[in-house]
Amino acid sequence: MSNKIRLGILGGGGDSLIGVLHRVASAMFDKYQLVGGVFNPKFEDNVGFAEQIGLPTDRVYKDFDTLIEEELKLPADKRMQVVSILTPNFLHYPMAKKLLENGFNVICEKPMTTTFEEAKDLHATLQKSKTVFAVTYTYTGYPMVRQMRELVKSGVIGKIQKIDAQYYQGWINPIIHDKEKRQTTWRLNPEKSGISCCIGDIGTHAFDMLEYVSGCTIESILADLNYLYDDNKMDIDGTVLLRASGNVKGLICASQIATGEENSFVVKVYGDKAGLKWEQENPNYLYLMEEGKPLQVLKPGHSYNSELSLDGTKLPPGHPEGIFDSMGNIYKGVAKAINKEKYDHGEFPTMIDGVRGMSFIEKAVESHKNGNVWTSIDKI
Amino acid sequence: MSNKIRLGILGGGGDSLIGVLHRVASAMFDKYQLVGGVFNPKFEDNVGFAEQIGLPTDRVYKDFDTLIEEELKLPADKRMQVVSILTPNFLHYPMAKKLLENGFNVICEKPMTTTFEEAKDLHATLQKSKTVFAVTYTYTGYPMVRQMRELVKSGVIGKIQKIDAQYYQGWINPIIHDKEKRQTTWRLNPEKSGISCCIGDIGTHAFDMLEYVSGCTIESILADLNYLYDDNKMDIDGTVLLRASGNVKGLICASQIATGEENSFVVKVYGDKAGLKWEQENPNYLYLMEEGKPLQVLKPGHSYNSELSLDGTKLPPGHPEGIFDSMGNIYKGVAKAINKEKYDHGEFPTMIDGVRGMSFIEKAVESHKNGNVWTSIDKI
Amino acid sequence: MSNKIRLGILGGGGDSLIGVLHRVASAMFDKYQLVGGVFNPKFEDNVGFAEQIGLPTDRVYKDFDTLIEEELKLPADKRMQVVSILTPNFLHYPMAKKLLENGFNVICEKPMTTTFEEAKDLHATLQKSKTVFAVTYTYTGYPMVRQMRELVKSGVIGKIQKIDAQYYQGWINPIIHDKEKRQTTWRLNPEKSGISCCIGDIGTHAFDMLEYVSGCTIESILADLNYLYDDNKMDIDGTVLLRASGNVKGLICASQIATGEENSFVVKVYGDKAGLKWEQENPNYLYLMEEGKPLQVLKPGHSYNSELSLDGTKLPPGHPEGIFDSMGNIYKGVAKAINKEKYDHGEFPTMIDGVRGMSFIEKAVESHKNGNVWTSIDKI
Amino acid sequence: MSNKIRLGILGGGGDSLIGVLHRVASAMFDKYQLVGGVFNPKFEDNVGFAEQIGLPTDRVYKDFDTLIEEELKLPADKRMQVVSILTPNFLHYPMAKKLLENGFNVICEKPMTTTFEEAKDLHATLQKSKTVFAVTYTYTGYPMVRQMRELVKSGVIGKIQKIDAQYYQGWINPIIHDKEKRQTTWRLNPEKSGISCCIGDIGTHAFDMLEYVSGCTIESILADLNYLYDDNKMDIDGTVLLRASGNVKGLICASQIATGEENSFVVKVYGDKAGLKWEQENPNYLYLMEEGKPLQVLKPGHSYNSELSLDGTKLPPGHPEGIFDSMGNIYKGVAKAINKEKYDHGEFPTMIDGVRGMSFIEKAVESHKNGNVWTSIDKI
């Protein structure tokens, strides 16, 4: 009998990319065994998909409620220990809530919910349960992002004075200028996506990342969003000014109309002793800039890296890590928490990250709609 | 007798770096002959400096007024044709004004004046004279910046939808945290530097560059500046949100406390067909990003570049251009104007650029002081 | 019952990195189920390791012969379908031979054998069996390496005129200068590693890669190897001049004393129309250089890539692939071959690659020992 | 009266690029005054060119012999002090010889002569005169190349164990495949270019550079050259294996058929403690690679650089230097020598560099023609 953690998955069937990412990540460190789930809305697709990925179909359920019901009938040592939620955004909240209430650990895609209200309620639910909850802000799993966090904590860059994140994509460009397409794209439909497109989808990554690497708490924001067309109700670009704890200022610029950009997520933190820079598209390099010294380029797997960083590197220096490794590291951290092993707070993003992210989205839209004024992030 | 343009220089003596830059630039295309000037406040230093740079001392004057007086006594075909102003900022205005009034062409360092008021007055003076006036926003002289402008004009990127400039330096960091140093640095002294440090010094470069490459007119701004210490009266960091003609939004982020950065000036323009990106620290590369096509990297000297770009390249592809070449190209453009040869508007920054820059500085500070509100750039 | 391919593994236990690489790769595309193997020399370690990676221990065998014997007793639809050989080099040949003779498909680490003689014999064995055999020259699995191959085949670069590979590492540097260490390192022991260290370990990657991407057959070589110390019997650096089919010349430079280099494997192919360049440490970029045109940078996942390349990309553009993805792609290709699905010859390296690699090693050493003379690669 | 060094120039008229390079370089540090020369074969072109570059025509001579004759009539404090030779290669030797014999200092383009025999004779002539002689291996003037040399000398990389230079261009590609063009190109005509094209033109740069930065003396070589067509008598590509003093091995690979490459000159030196790498197309970066430490990227103008490097930087960090700056630094060094100021041996390439370069060319061709055998470089 395998001693791996028993994993269920909700969503991610068909040709879902996020499904591939989570399945591979769960296999990265020999820690999880996928045992079942509900991958597709239709039961026959669901079973077909399980066969396609080589999964026995006995625990492939017809819907979410059945999954809960049937799994609870199994003895504790057979039952799913953790369930990953990869469904459309509006389902995250009800599914996560019910899972938590029934004692399952949860790995949830971002955004965690569709409103801050839901997020707070979910947080209250979690506090009553004794489970592990992770939100997959994937990029915080990269070894060099972890190293960035550790270097900041170690004091190498001194007192932080500026935080800066850019997240530029161009994918919405062929859609936004086509009236028909922009009316039929779910990302641009508030009922399916919540109140924000660009800030909600990628701005939150930037927000979470800045807090993750800098250790700062962002306290208030001023947002200028861009909708381009009057009949478009969802932001597809925006700049957000930041004020954070410790008298730190900063900015997030996010765009989905930065034509030709792929996934250009760049994070910079400047202290009074040095600066640090990391780029998602070249994730194996961390730039340490010290006044009057040569630029230093740190890479994964070297002994000069922190334990937290090295824990996420599987091969020797010179063997580049990709996005799967990053998500794999988050799954590894969650496994440690489930197995009650020692782990570092930086190993996976928790519900607090999810809740703050929801507040960020709502406040960014509020700041913009009120005429680009400073607006406080809710405390939790 | 040489048929070169007779050049005088004000300032730039001693171990001034800006002096080196202008002298080399003036020699780049065999167009100018330095004939005299006032390089240093003290006359003996002035003569000593002339000897050091191998300049005959007969037209090295004791002060600016003497220069005007004596040069006017010379016959027109001996007299200085153009004078470069490299003195401290507060001297730009009175010197430029008197030079223009006396019929000299002028090349003036930026910022052109210390106030928008002065700038407008200088502009009125220029309109009465029949002279050439250039402000040395040096970076617009790079061949690949010129190519960026031409590609935008040619429609390759389609309708512009976002403009973005970052200008990050870290040099003020060792000063700003030292109370004594910050009180004795002229850049942080409003009497010597005007109302702004960071925005005035480098933010204006970003402002001018965005208008230069995009062809957009920036109409209003919202600024959040950073002073770090209460006893510091001058911004040393700031983010400025932009609204430009044609419903374009954008941002300028500028900093002198981005520790470890040297002169990281990055310019991006995104249209509905493609995006363009250029970085000052690697000035020989221009990135053209088209949705769904390979990234294209354009380099100087190739026949695929525009005439305007090629005019600024002296050697074949593969021979990197540096900052001297950029300033040299501006001097070359001014020479054409003085010699009444045909030239392109993109060959050197004119007084309009200088005036708009002054308005940008004043409005950025005003927007910040009024609580980060949208503020219009003055029209000229 | 899962319909995944049943995989056994030989070696790769303990803290073996190559074991991690193969296990993750096998999980990448939901195609394989690890069912058993012999991971460690000692049976108790072996079982312990299986438990650690969450593998049921019923098919963890005490040694290789037992594995063969016991697996053959199982019905065909339970029996391991493919076995991966990750053991020390000298075991590759006997294990692979016996597996092939008993009808198992094989995935074998490189170098395939320790001599060309063994390689030829293994090839003869394979021809009698009806099995699939792959040698894991991992780097050929990268999407952009595949694209490089396809672009060459498509004629984009015209007739090839130069091939060039550099493979520089620095890891042996701290060993080679320490007399004791160099006598106790297995890589430097001919009995364990065969006749070559640097050429055998990394030169063969370069050799295989050049033939893979260019489609050329390398026909003769002239090698200058470097041993640094008289008491060191194994090359740790070398340059190999190449002559290939179609009047093509080229070179391989390989080193393990290029101090500070990690795994700098760079491959260039120049035709009469264009050149192509790829770098292992930044594997998501393929550079297409055409005379007089902007440099083009191709990246994974775009529709401009070939089917072969896209088949190896799991996520959209901008999500960087790492080394696990590359090995995963090779496992995916092998799965297709085992499942008798349609596949492209470029999807995994076959035994021919393994055989040619062994000849390359032997001939490189021979060329060097004979005084740096041209020596022919054996034909197969 | 200016106290600048009086400079004459031979060649470089019309639209010669090398003429631009030398004129700008001579102006870089306010050290030279161009006073006359012979720029073009025809006297009227010669005068026209002088007017075009704004040079008084009184010392524009009708031919080289007249220049010598007339300049010698001038008093010593008016006479040209140094003459730059930018004429076709076969004129370098007779001009340089006569200049030296008549007491002029000389700056000579490379290759210094067309044969090693001429080079030796010129060397003997120099030893009898008391003049300064420089060969313009331009690239050694870059600040970061100088820093590379200084770091090697300082012991930072330890004992050198490998030297490696790549010099790849693609410009001859459109010529070499066109029978007519290859018969009418002077670079491919042995009568005009000597015995080698690729090795003579760019291989010598690599040879000089490796000796310059490493301090090693290259003692013997084995060359494999490439001519591509039977009716082409001049190499257009080649790889040269190196053996240098101190038991160092290495290689030079040079090509003019590396299609799409511009001027990709890359230099690497590996010691037993660290490695160093520099690339001409991004000349402001020097990479220091130490085993187990972050990669360090050194840039010009920082105080961590050596005096020799800083002497060649005119502006603060972040202001990129280009090819003109590099040549300017060589002119600056020559000026020091002429003015009998203190200077470092690394400031300009001397005749010894020129002589060794000629031997390298001859021996590379000899090694190739003798069947790729080791051949010694002549001693001087």
Per residue in A265-291, pLDDT tens? 999 999 999 999 999 999 999 999 998
Res B361: pLDDT: 95
Question: Tokens in use for B80?
Answer: 């200085």
User: What Å distances lie between residue A222 and A166, A205, A369, B255, CA to CA?
Assistant: 16, 17, 10, 19
Res C380: pLDDT: 82
Enumerate long-range contacts of A96-104, CB under 8 Å, 24 or more apart.
A96/A122, A96/A133, A97/A121, A97/A122, A97/A125, A98/A64, A98/A68, A99/A68, A100/A125, A100/A126, A100/A129, A100/A131, A100/A133, A101/A125, A101/A129, A102/A68, A102/A72, A103/A129, A103/A130, A103/A131, A104/A8, A104/A71, A104/A80, A104/A131
Separation between Cα atoms, residue D87 and residue D108, nearest integer Å: 9
Res A63: pLDDT: 97
Q: Please, which chains are in contact with A (at least 3 CB pairs closer than 8 A)? A: B, C, D
Cβ atoms of A182 and B272 within 8 Å: the answer is no
Separation between Cα atoms, residue C255 and residue C268, nearest integer Å: 17
Instruction: Reduce the DSSP state of residue A308 to 3 states and report it.
Output: helix
Q: Please, which chains are in contact with C (at least 3 CB pairs closer than 8 A)? A: A, B, D
Interface membership of D57 toward A (CB under 8 Å): no
Res B2: pLDDT: 66
Query: Is the pLDDT score of C250 beyond 90?
Result: yes
Q: Region A116-144: what's the mean pLDDT? A: 96
Separation between Cα atoms, residue D354 and residue D208, nearest integer Å: 8
Res A281: pLDDT: 96
Res A336: pLDDT: 95
Instruction: Reduce the DSSP state of residue A218 to 3 states and report it.
Output: strand
Interface membership of D55 toward B (CB under 8 Å): yes
For chain C, the average pLDDT equals 95
Interface membership of A127 toward C (CB under 8 Å): no
Separation between Cα atoms, residue D66 and residue C272, nearest integer Å: 47
Separation between Cα atoms, residue B309 and residue B302, nearest integer Å: 9
Q: What phi-psi label fits residue C322: left (phi over 0), alpha (psi between -120 and 50 degrees) or beta?
A: beta
Class of residue A49 by CB neighbours under 10 A (exposed 0-12, middle 13-18, buried 19+): buried
Question: Tokens in use for A196?
Answer: 């924000």
Interface membership of B14 toward A (CB under 8 Å): no
Question: Tokens in use for D377?
Answer: 């470089």
DSSP codes of every residue in C185-238: -GGG-HHHH-S-SHIIIIIHHHHHHHHHHH---EEEEEEEEE--STT--S-SEE
Are the beta carbons of C290 and D173 separated by less than 8 Å? no
Res B266: pLDDT: 98
For residue A173, which of A266, A56, A286, A255 has the smallest C-alpha distance?
Answer: A255
Query: Is the pLDDT score of A83 beyond 70?
Result: yes
Interface membership of C144 toward D (CB under 8 Å): no
Tell me the shortest Cα–Cα distance from D237 to chain C, in angstroms.
9
Angle, alpha carbons D241-D242-D246 (nearest 5°) = 150
Query: Band of the pLDDT at C162, cuts 50, 70, 90?
Result: very high
User: What is the CB neighbour count within 10 angstroms for residue A128?
Assistant: 9
DSSP codes of every residue in D278-347: EETTSTT-EEEEETTS-EEEE-TT-TTS-HHHHTT--S-TTS---HHHHHHHHHHHHHHHHTT----GGG
Query: Is the pLDDT score of C1 beyond 70?
Result: no
**Across-strand partners of C268?**
C164, C277
Per residue in C31-66, pLDDT tens? 999 999 999 999 999 999 999 999 999 999 999 999
Q: Region C273-281: what's the mean pLDDT? A: 98
Per residue in C314-326, pLDDT tens? 899 999 999 999 9
Separation between Cα atoms, residue C96 and residue C136, nearest integer Å: 13
CA atoms within 13 A on the CB side of C10: 28
Res B232: pLDDT: 94
Res A380: pLDDT: 82
Res C130: pLDDT: 86
Give kind and range of the element (H or E) at residue B254: strand B248-255
Cβ within 8 Å of A, D 287-316: 288, 292-299, 302-304
Are the beta carbons of D295 and A299 separated by less than 8 Å? yes
pTM of the model: 0.96
Per residue in D276-331, pLDDT tens? 999 999 999 999 999 899 999 999 999 999 999 999 998 999 999 899 999 999 99
Tell me the shortest Cα–Cα distance from C317 to chain B, in angstroms.
9
Separation between Cα atoms, residue A25 and residue A330, nearest integer Å: 8
For residue D295, which of A294, B53, C266 has the smallest C-alpha distance?
Answer: A294
Tell me the shortest Cα–Cα distance from D275 to chain A, in angstroms.
15
Q: What domains does chain C contain, in order, with CATH numbers?
A: 5-139 (3.40.50.720), 142-315+351-369 (3.30.360.10)
- Contact list, A222 vs chain B (CB under 8 Å): 222, 224, 372
Name the residue in chain B with its Cα closest to that of A291.
Answer: B260
Interface membership of A54 toward C (CB under 8 Å): yes
User: What is the CB neighbour count within 10 angstroms for residue C96?
Assistant: 27
Are the beta carbons of B263 and D319 separated by less than 8 Å? yes
User: What Å distances lie between residue B132 and B36, B333, D308, CA to CA?
Assistant: 19, 11, 41
Tell me the shortest Cα–Cα distance from D173 to chain C, in angstroms.
7
Cβ atoms of B247 and B160 within 8 Å: the answer is no
Q: Please, which chains are in contact with B (at least 3 CB pairs closer than 8 A)? A: A, C, D
Name the residue in chain B with its Cα closest to that of D53.
Answer: B30
Cβ atoms of A228 and B161 within 8 Å: the answer is yes
Q: Is the dihedral of CA B362, B368, B371, B373 positive or negative?
A: positive
For residue C161, which of C244, C242, C270, C252 has the smallest C-alpha distance?
Answer: C270
Per residue in C96-114, pLDDT tens? 999 999 999 999 999 999 9
B237, B247, B288: residue with CB nearest A162: B237
Q: Region C247-261: what's the mean pLDDT? A: 97
Are the beta carbons of C298 and B299 separated by less than 8 Å? no
Instruction: Reduce the DSSP state of residue D372 to 3 states and report it.
Output: coil
Q: Region D70-80: what's the mean pLDDT? A: 97
Question: Tokens in use for D279?
Answer: 């690339």
Res D2: pLDDT: 66
Separation between Cα atoms, residue A100 and residue C332, nearest integer Å: 37
Interface membership of C170 toward D (CB under 8 Å): yes
Are the beta carbons of A257 and B270 separated by less than 8 Å? yes
D54, D281, D322: residue with CB nearest B33: D54
- To test the contact with chain A by mutation, choose from B239, B268, B372 the residue with the greatest count of A C-beta atoms within 10 A, namely B239
Asked if the peptide bond before residue C283 counts as cis, ω within 30 degrees of 0, the response is: no
Separation between Cα atoms, residue C153 and residue C29, nearest integer Å: 27
Query: Is the pLDDT score of A1 beyond 60?
Result: no
C·D CB contacts under 8 A: 126
Res A2: pLDDT: 67
DSSP symbol at C346: G
Res B3: pLDDT: 80
User: What Å distances lie between residue A238 and A202, A255, B208, C117, CA to CA?
Assistant: 11, 6, 22, 65
Separation between Cα atoms, residue A328 and residue D141, nearest integer Å: 49
Class of residue A94 by CB neighbours under 10 A (exposed 0-12, middle 13-18, buried 19+): middle
Name the residue in chain A with its Cα closest to that of C16.
Answer: A315
Interface membership of D268 toward C (CB under 8 Å): yes
Total residues belonging to chain D: 380
Asked if the peptide bond before residue B56 counts as cis, ω within 30 degrees of 0, the response is: no
Separation between Cα atoms, residue C177 and residue C185, nearest integer Å: 12
Query: Is the pLDDT score of A237 beyond 80?
Result: yes
Q: What phi-psi label fits residue B14: left (phi over 0), alpha (psi between -120 and 50 degrees) or beta?
A: left
Cβ atoms of C259 and C175 within 8 Å: the answer is no
Separation between Cα atoms, residue C131 and residue C79, nearest integer Å: 14
10-residue mean pLDDT profile of chain B (380 residues): values are 87 93 94 96 95 94 98 97 95 97 97 95 95 96 97 98 98 95 90 91 97 97 96 96 96 98 98 98 97 96 96 92 93 94 93 95 96 94
DSSP symbol at A199: I
Q: Region C327-331: what's the mean pLDDT? A: 95
Question: Tokens in use for A239?
Answer: 């700049």
Per residue in A293-339, pLDDT tens? 999 999 999 999 999 999 999 899 999 999 999 999 999 999 999 99
For chain D, the average pLDDT equals 95
Class of residue A73 by CB neighbours under 10 A (exposed 0-12, middle 13-18, buried 19+): exposed
User: What is the CB neighbour count within 10 angstroms for residue A62?
Assistant: 15
